[in-house]
């Protein structure tokens, strides 16, 4: 398996522009997570999906952020309009979910998308 695949790996954009980050989870994993990592705040959960349905979006900072999962193999995180404080590394992760307790919470992360908003 190729693991969790994210694109783009790096994005530099100007304030006010729309940014779209993409993620392909591991095949067969039915949970998908979007995390953001900064030096100040560490790894923060933005939103997660189960079977393509958003379960918890309480971490989404504001209306400028939106996430979709149109099918089991693809998700997007969109920021519109982007601001300099959105600069961070955005990680997508997936896991198998609660099919028995052992290993249920072991997330597998993608390589991340480093976003810089000027």
Partner 1 sequence: EDKVVQSPLSLVVHEGDTVTLNCSYEVTNFRSLLWYKQEKKAPTFLFMLTSSGIEKKSGRLSSILDKKELFSILNITATQTGDSAVYLCAVPPQGGSEKLVFGKGTKLTVNP
By CB under 8 A, name the binding residues for partner 1: 4, 31, 33, 35, 41-43, 45, 48, 50, 55-56, 91, 95, 97-98, 101-112
The encoded tokens of residue 35 equal 């995390």
Complex with partner 1: residue 75 or 110, whichever CB lies closer: 110
Complex with partner 1: residue 31 or 86, whichever CB lies closer: 31
- CB atoms < 10 A from the CB of 39, how many? 6
Distance CA 98, CA 70 (A): 22
The encoded tokens of residue 89 equal 């590394």
The encoded tokens of residue 2 equal 């190729």
Q: Specify the residue for token string 């601001």.
A: 83
Complex with partner 1: residue 81 or 89, whichever CB lies closer: 89
Spacing of C-alpha 53 from chain mean position: 14
Complex with partner 1: residue 5 or 76, whichever CB lies closer: 5
CB of 24 to partner 1, least distance (A): 14
CB of 44 to partner 1, least distance (A): 8
CB of 109 to partner 1, least distance (A): 4
CB of 107 to partner 1, least distance (A): 6
Q: Is the distance from CB of 115 to CB of 11 less than 8 angstroms?
A: yes
């Amino acid at each position: 398996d190729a693991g969790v695949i994210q694109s783009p790996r790096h994005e530099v954009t100007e304030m006010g522009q729309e940014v779209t980050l993409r993620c392909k989870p591991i095949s067969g994993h039915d949970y998908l997570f979007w995390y953001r990592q900064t030096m100040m705040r560490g790894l923060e959960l933005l939103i997660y999906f189960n079977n393509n349905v958003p379960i918890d979006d309480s971490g989404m900072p504001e209306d400028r952020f939106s996430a979709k999962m149109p099918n089991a193999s693809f998700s997007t995180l969109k920021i519109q309009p982007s601001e300099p404080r959105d600069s961070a590394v955005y990680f997508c992760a997936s896991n198998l979910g609660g099919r028995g307790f052992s290993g249920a919470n072991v997330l597998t992360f993608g390589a991340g998308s480093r976003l810089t908003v000027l």
